[in-house]
Each structure stands twice: as structure tokens, then as C-alpha cells.
Structure 1
Amino acid sequence: MSITFHSLSVDDAALLLEWRTDPEISRNMFTDLEHSDLSVQRKWVKSVLKRKDYVSFIIHDEGKPVGFLSFNDIDYKNKKCSSGSYIYCKKARLKLAVTLHSYICSFAFYCLGMNKIVNLILDVNENVIKIQQLHNTQFVGVLREHIYKNGEFYDVHIFEQLRSTWEERKQRFQASHMREAFKGWNDRWMK
């Protein structure tokens, strides 16, 4: 299996810091790190590992770490969450850009038990907006001048994926394949 997801650990802090401070990655993020120092990054990782509304993974391709995936704002009562991801390695970015959506949906719907994934995407992140459209993810609207970053306002595009709509489409991968890809898919998150 080429793509796997390993639960985030404190040992990943240095790698995340490297990725998160790369201008090509950070330009598409809502925030920039105010303190790009390893001890602060380790504290952040420790804090998110304790949260019940946040689950995250390091994405591996061919056994090498290439990116980050998170599920946040997990609301078990209303069965909705958001997801965020980035692929640091350009070669892997091209390879995984289209298929990553299937993994995200499988984990959110079948492991976390969600009914809806809501994604907020900066307007400058045109490639991810195109990918959302490619997957027929429902475009909800635009929050005008919603994020202020680097002296500029940015619009935020809102997309949502309902479990029922996603299940109507032919799936590229079997459920067992998806489960195997997530090394941390276990009873810890099952609802």
C-alpha cells in the first residue's frame, strides 16, 4: 500500500515545524506561526493530542512522511467535522491530490461516524478549490474578507461533503483498503 496515515506524535514536531514554516505551505493556511520554535511546536502537538475534537495524522507515501492531515471541530452530537491537510513533498502532492479526498471521507464517515465534513479554504488556494469541485463537493458560499493575514484580507470558500452524497458515488477503494491505510484507525475514535 502506497499511502498510509500514522497518528501524530510529539516526535513529529520538528517535521511539522519544517513543513508549517515553508512559504509554499503557509501561504494557504489561515495563520502563520508566531513562534517558529521547536519547544512551542512540541507544546502544540501535546495539546492537540489531548483534545477530543481533534485527530491528526502524518501522511506517508511509499513509507516516507510527505504531509499532514487533521480532523478538527469534531462534533459527535451533530455528526460534523472539518478537515485540513497539506502535502509538503511536491511529487507526492501531484500523486495524492485527487485520491486523498477518498481517505478523508472514509475516516470521517466510517471511523468518526460523521455525517458531514465542512471545509474552509482560502481563496488563494486555487488548486484545492478545484479539487473540491472535481469531487463534486457542495459549494456553500464565500465568507468575504474573512481572514486578515500579511496585511491583506482573504476570502474563504466553504464546501461541504455529506455522507449520503459521497456514498452515492462509485468508490475508488474498498473500505478494507481505507482501514489498512490508517495505522491509528482503532477504537480510540470509533463512535
Structure 2
Amino acid sequence: MTSALTFRLPTPDDAELLLTWRRLPEIAEQSFSEVPDDIDRQRAWIDRSNARTDYVHRIIQVDGIDVGYGSVTITQVDWKIGTIGVYMGDRRGRTGIGALNFAPMLNHCFHTLGLRKLVNQVFSSNDRVLKGQTMLGYRHVGVLREHAVKNGEVKDVHLFEMLAADWAAVRHRFGIFYDMDGRMVGDV
């Protein structure tokens, strides 16, 4: 069985879906920001996000089913550095797709957006993502001890980085050479 992994731009009509996902306990506890339960605020956030030039986001689909959300934030425009974030809100799509959804995102970062580096921060309690970062080719930079406070609890934060050259060296393992908009990018 083959599954089609696609991405689509969120619209204000997706506000309820994204807000529901963002407030799921397993997603909320790993998010760095708190999300108020306010649908109008969520709609406004989608509109603002769609208008930004330093932010790219998409709803992740498997076989046409909305299953998750991914974003790229360009944190240092002049230095061509960004960060990515992903969460899977619905498991109706093919399970195990988690690692594969990063390939189009990483292709988008390094080929479409022309970034030269990604830096991600991950809570120490997020075991699945911590393991996934190195599997994707990220380098573990270190741990910021007692760096964040979430719900009154002090948390360690792991730092990971990936250069465009690092992704170029491992992307063939995933066999996905298109970006989040379905464009073939880089050497195939």
C-alpha cells in the first residue's frame, strides 16, 4: 500500500482543527508557548502567519486526510537560519509517517527557502522527538539545563542543529525529493 504525503496552506477555516490539535495534552505539554482556547484569535493567527515572509506553515496530509501541522520560522534572515516545528494531531493517516514528514520540510528549508542552517529546541521530556532529531541527521549540540519553565515546572532543553550540507548527505535515505509544495528540489 502506498500513501501520499502532501501539504496544504492553512486557511482561517482550519482554525478549529488547529486549535483542537494544539490543545491536545500530548502536544500542549511539549509546546513552548501556551495557546488560549479562543477560535477568533486562532483565525487571526492563521491570517497573520499566512502574510509573514519569515514563516512558512502547512497542514500535513496523508492520503488526503489532515493529520498534522508543520512550520518553518526563519529566525535569522541575514544568516539564513531557521527552526522547524511539527505536531501530529490525528492518527487516521498512516502511522509511522512522522519521520517522513520531515523530508519535504527539510527540502523546503534548504532548497526552496535557501536556508543554510536549522536550530531546534526540544524539551528533555520529548523522548520521541529527541531520538528523531539524530535519525534525521541533526547534531546534538547540548543541553540548556533548567532553561524553560512550563506549567511551573523547570525543564531542560536540548539543542540540535543541521547544516544544509548535513541534510544533503542523508536525504537520499528517505527517498523524498520534493518540498512542502510538491516541487522536486535538489539533486535527485
Q: TM-score when scaled to structure 2?
A: 0.88
* Deviation (angstroms), 1:42: 0.9
8 Å contact kept, 1:87–1:93: no
Whole-angstrom CA distance in 2 between matches of 1:5 and 1:108: 14
Whole-angstrom CA distance in 1 between matches of 2:86 and 2:176: 22
- Name the counterpart of 1:25: 27
Percent identical pairs in the alignment equals: 33
User: In structure 2, do the counterparts of structure 1 residues 159 and 23 end up closer, same or farther at CA, with 3 Å as the change threshold?
Assistant: same
User: In structure 2, do the counterparts of structure 1 residues 111 and 81 end up closer, same or farther at CA, with 3 Å as the change threshold?
Assistant: same
Could you tell me which amino acid in structure 2 is paired with residue 4 of structure 1? Answer: T
- Name the counterpart of 2:15: 13
- Name the counterpart of 1:182: 181
Could you tell me which amino acid in structure 2 is paired with residue 163 of structure 1? Answer: A
After superposing on structure 2, the runs of 4+ consecutive aligned residues of structure 1 that deviate more than 6 Å are none
Cα-to-partner distance string for 1:15-45 (whole Å, 9 max, x where unaligned): 1011011111111111222x21111111111
- Name the counterpart of 1:82: 83
Instruction: Give unmatched runs, 5+ long, in structure 2.
Output: 184-188
Q: What RMSD in Å do the two structures reach over aligned CA positions? A: 1.8
Whole-angstrom CA distance in 2 between matches of 1:93 and 1:40: 31
Structure 1 SS opposite 2:175: coil
8 Å contact kept, 1:5–1:57: yes
- Name the counterpart of 2:164: 163
Whole-angstrom CA distance in 1 between matches of 2:71 and 2:24: 18
The answer to whether residue 155 in structure 2 is matched with residue 151 in structure 1 is no
Whole-angstrom CA distance in 2 between matches of 1:55 and 1:134: 23
8 Å contact kept, 2:63–2:93: no
Whole-angstrom CA distance in 2 between matches of 1:40 and 1:95: 32
Structure 2 SS opposite 1:113: coil
- Name the counterpart of 2:186: none
Instruction: Give unmatched runs, 5+ long, in structure 1.
Output: 186-191
- Name the counterpart of 1:141: 142
Could you tell me which amino acid in structure 2 is paired with residue 25 of structure 1? Answer: I
Whole-angstrom CA distance in 2 between matches of 1:30 and 1:44: 16
8 Å contact kept, 2:140–2:160: yes
Q: TM-score when scaled to structure 1?
A: 0.86
8 Å contact kept, 1:81–1:118: yes
Whole-angstrom CA distance in 2 between matches of 1:149 and 1:76: 28
Whole-angstrom CA distance in 2 between matches of 1:93 and 1:118: 28
* Deviation (angstroms), 1:49: 1.8
Whole-angstrom CA distance in 2 between matches of 1:70 and 1:42: 16
Q: Which moved more, 1:95-104 or 1:111-120?
A: 95-104
* Deviation (angstroms), 1:92: 4.1
Matches within 5 A, 1:111-130: 111-130=112-131
User: In structure 2, do the counterparts of structure 1 residues 135 and 63 end up closer, same or farther at CA, with 3 Å as the change threshold?
Assistant: same
Whole-angstrom CA distance in 2 between matches of 1:16 and 1:169: 31
Could you tell me which amino acid in structure 1 is paired with residue 70 of structure 2? Answer: L
